[in-house]
């Protein structure tokens, strides 16, 4: 048991030491105007380098993340069907899927799924 604690402390110390050394070595001492420019090619930009992004792409990304997490939550439900009470499993699965369908209907009703705009 003490061996596990000792190894854990050694690993924690080594990783902390590596992070501190990397942080010290990666500090930039001089800020260069050319390195700070958005293009790094030697000329000054005529307009702003930051273009406004489409809110539609942002919403699609958020929807993708939500459904990605939902899939990660649904997959283990299939694996535990043999180890749990069937009635409790069905109620939990049904409630979860109903919540997902209500969210999908809300997104559809708000027009977030229209890609043609």
Per-residue pLDDT tens digits of the chain, which is 117 residues long: 889 999 999 999 999 999 999 888 876 655 666 666 666 565 666 666 566 777 777 777 888 888 888 888 888 888 888 888 999 999 998 998 898 889 888 888 887 777 665
- Using a cut of 0.75, tell me whether the model's pTM lies above it: no
3-state secondary structure 29-60: CCCCHHHHCCCCCCCCCCCCCCCCCCHHHHHH
| CA dist., res. 13 & res. 17, Å (int) | 6
Annotated domain spans of the chain: 48-110
């Amino acid at each position: 048991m003490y061996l596990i604690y000792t190894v854990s402390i050694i690993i924690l110390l080594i990783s902390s030491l590596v992070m501190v050394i990397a942080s010290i070595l990666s500090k930039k001492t001089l800020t260069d105007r050319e390195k700070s420019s958005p293009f790094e090619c030697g000329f000054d930009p005529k307009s702003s380098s930051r273009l406004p992004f489409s809110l539609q792409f942002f919403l699609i990304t958020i929807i993708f993340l939500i459904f990605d997490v939902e899939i990660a939550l649904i997959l283990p439900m299939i694996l535990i069907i043999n180890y749990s009470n069937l009635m409790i499993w069905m109620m939990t699965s049904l409630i979860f899927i109903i919540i997902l369908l209500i969210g999908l209907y809300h997104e559809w009703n708000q027009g977030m799924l229209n890609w043609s705009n």
